[in-house]
Amino acid sequence: MIARESPDPEPMKYAILGHDTSSTAEKLEHYTGTVAWSYLRPHWKNGVLYFVDPGLKLVEVGAAISENDTMRVEAWLKAGDLVKIGDLHAAQWEGGAGEFEALVVSPFVLCRPLAG
C-alpha cells in the first residue's frame, strides 16, 4: 500500500520562510532604533527623512504610512506633527553628537531627537 501525502501539509516553521503572524506594529518595532545624525544625513539628502512629534509613537506613524492611511498622515502633516526635515533642522544637527530615535518605513525614515 502506498502512503498518500496529505493535501494540506503542515507549514514549515522557519521564521524566515514561514508565515509571519506578527502585527504591523511588531514588525515595525524591528526597524526602530537609536542612531546618530550621520546615519540620518543621507536620508535627509534624499528627501525622505521626517520628524515625528514626541506626542506620537513612531510605530503608530509608521503603521499609518505602511497601511496607506492617508487621512491620518495628512492630518499629522497639516498639524505639524509630521514634518519633512528641512535645511534648518539639518544645519542644527550637523556636527552634533546627539542621538535620534528612528524608524525605517521604506522609502521613508521617521525620526526625532532623543532628550540628552
Half-sphere exposure of 63 (CA within 13 A, CB side): 14
Q: pTM to 2 decimals?
A: 0.78
Element holding 75 (H helix, E strand): helix 70-79
The three-class DSSP label of residue 109 is strand
Residue with cell 498622515: 73
The reply to whether 21 falls in a domain is: no
The domain tally of the chain equals: 1
pLDDT of residue 14: 44
pLDDT of residue 82: 98
Q: Which of 34, 44, 58, 59 is nearest to 93 (CA)?
A: 44
Summarised one tens digit per residue, pLDDT across range 54-103 is 999 999 999 999 999 999 999 999 999 999 999 998 998 887 768 999 99
| 26 falls within a domain | no
Which residues is 109 bridged to in the sheet? 49, 104
In a domain, residue 82? The reply is yes
8 within domain boundaries: no
Run of H or E residues at 82: strand 82-84
pLDDT-derived band at 8 (thresholds 50, 70, 90) equals: low
pLDDT band at 18 (very low <50, low <70, confident <90, very high): low
23 domain residue, yes or no: no
Residue with more model confidence, 30 or 64: 64
Domain that holds residue 69: 32-113
